[in-house]
Chain A
Amino acid sequence: MFRDTVSALCHTVVEERCLAGIGSAAPEANSVVQFVLAQHARMPDFLRAPVVVLTLMFDLQCILKHGAPFRRLDCDQRIQHVRDWRLSRLGFRRDFVRLYESLAVLGWHSMKERCQ
Chain B
Amino acid sequence: MDLNTITPTVLVTGAAGWLGLSLVQALVRGLADHPDLATPFAGRVRCLVLPGQDTAALRKIGGAVEIVEGDVRNSGDCTRFCSGASGGILLHVAGIIHPKSVKEFYSINLEGTKNLLAAAQEARLKRVVVMSSNSPIGCNPHRDHLFDEESPYNPYMGYGRSKMLMELAVKEAQKAGQLETVIIRAPWFYGPNQPARQALFFQMIRDGKGPIVGDGLNPRSMAYTDNLAQGILLAALVPKANGEIYWIADERPYTMCEIMDTIERLLETEFGQNCAHKRMRLPGIAAAVAWVVDKSLQSLGLYHQKIHVLSEMNKTIACSVAKAKRELGFRPTVSLEEGMRRSLSWMEENGQKL
Report if A and B touch in the complex (beta carbons < 8 A).
Answer: yes
Closest to A25 in B: B144
Binary interface profile of B, 130-150, with partner A (CB < 8 Å = 1, else 0)?
Answer: 000000000001111111101
The residue in chain B whose Cβ has the minimal distance to the Cβ of A4 is B141
A55 within 8 A of B: no
- A71 to B148 alpha-carbon distance, docked (Å): 19
Contacts of B143 in A (CB 8 A): 72, 74-75
* Most-contacted residue by chain A among B141, B150, B319, B320 (CB, 10 A): B141
Set of chain B residues within 8 Å of A15, measured between Cβ atoms:
144
Interface size counted on chain A using CB atoms at 8 A: 20
**At the interface, yes or no: A93 with Cβ under 8 Å from chain B?**
no
Contact A7 B145 (CB under 8 A): yes
Q: Does A31 contact B (CB under 8 A)?
A: yes
Q: Which residue of B141, B142, B146, B217 is within 8 Å of A27 (Cβ)? A: B146
A-B contacts, CB under 8 A, total? 47
Q: A26-B320, A27-B320, A27-B322 are in contact. Are A11 and B145 (CB under 8 A)?
A: yes
B148 to chain A: which residues have CB within 8 Å?
27, 30
**Within residues 43 to 101 of chain A, which ones have a CB less than 8 A from any CB in chain B?**
71-75, 78
Q: Is A3 an interface residue (CB 8 A)?
A: yes
- Within 311-334 of B, Cβ neighbours of A (below 8 Å) are at 318-320, 322
Given A26-B320, A27-B322, verify A74-B151 contact (CB < 8 Å).
no
In the bound complex, CA of A13 to CA of B143 (Å): 15
**Measured between alpha carbons, how far is A12 from B185 in the docked complex, in Å?**
27
Partner of A71, one of B142, B146, B151, B320: B142
20 contacts between A and B (CB under 8 A): A4-B142, A7-B145, A11-B142, A11-B144, A15-B144, A26-B144, A26-B318, A26-B320, A27-B145, A27-B146, A27-B148, A27-B322, A30-B148, A30-B151, A34-B150, A71-B142, A72-B142, A72-B143, A73-B142, A75-B143
